Homo-oligomer: A and B are copies of this chain.
Amino acid sequence: MATKGKKTLKSITLVVSKGTMDMAYPPLMIATGAAAMGAEVNIFFTFYGINLIKKDGIDKLQISPVGKPDMPKPDFSPFPVPNIVSMLPGMTAMATSMMKKKIKDTGIMSLEDLLKSAQEMGVKFWACTPTMELMNIKEGDLVDVAGCIGVAGYLDMAADSDINLFI
């Protein structure tokens, strides 16, 4: 192991700005991992990231294969799928359901379960107020959040954190 355990993780603050299925995993896995280590965890959901905390929203997140040459090729195909095929109707849904199946087969939690685990472990969710105004989202549209805050509120939390990440 790389670490000599010199410093214990006390707090971590994440900014979540992406709302696709694949990019929803890293913040939730990091958040639940940090909470399991006893750290205070705050997540500031901004821009497309706010989709993760819409009521029943996280199960609707999708992933599009278009313009993403770094996505693993689908199991049914010996070759990566070219963009001209990826952009056909139905391919976003197909990529999404294939990734969901792979995740399930691997025994990794669904996003819905990860989000619930995070809440049960005390991870605090913060919604970005300018984003809510821009996308016409009310607090009632969201899962339980610790509060709705602006950039200043985020910066106050981040200044006090051992680890800050923008995802």
Question: Measuring CB to CB, which residues of chain A are less than 8 angstroms from any residue of chain B?
Answer: 1-9, 12, 15, 17-20, 22-23, 25-26, 29-30, 32-34, 36-37, 39, 42, 46-48, 51, 61-72, 82-84, 86-89, 91-92, 96, 102-103, 106-108, 124, 126, 130, 133-135, 146-147, 149-167
Contacts and interface: CB of A to CB of B under 8 A. Distances in A.
A156 B121 CA distance: 19
A90 to B, nearest CB: 9
Per CB-CB distance, the 5 closest pairs between chain A and chain B, nearest first, are A19-B70, A33-B151, A66-B67, A62-B69, A3-B156
User: Among A15, A34, A70, A87, which residue has the most Cβ atoms of chain B within 10 A?
Assistant: A70
A20 B134 contact: no
Contacts of A160: 3-4, 6-7
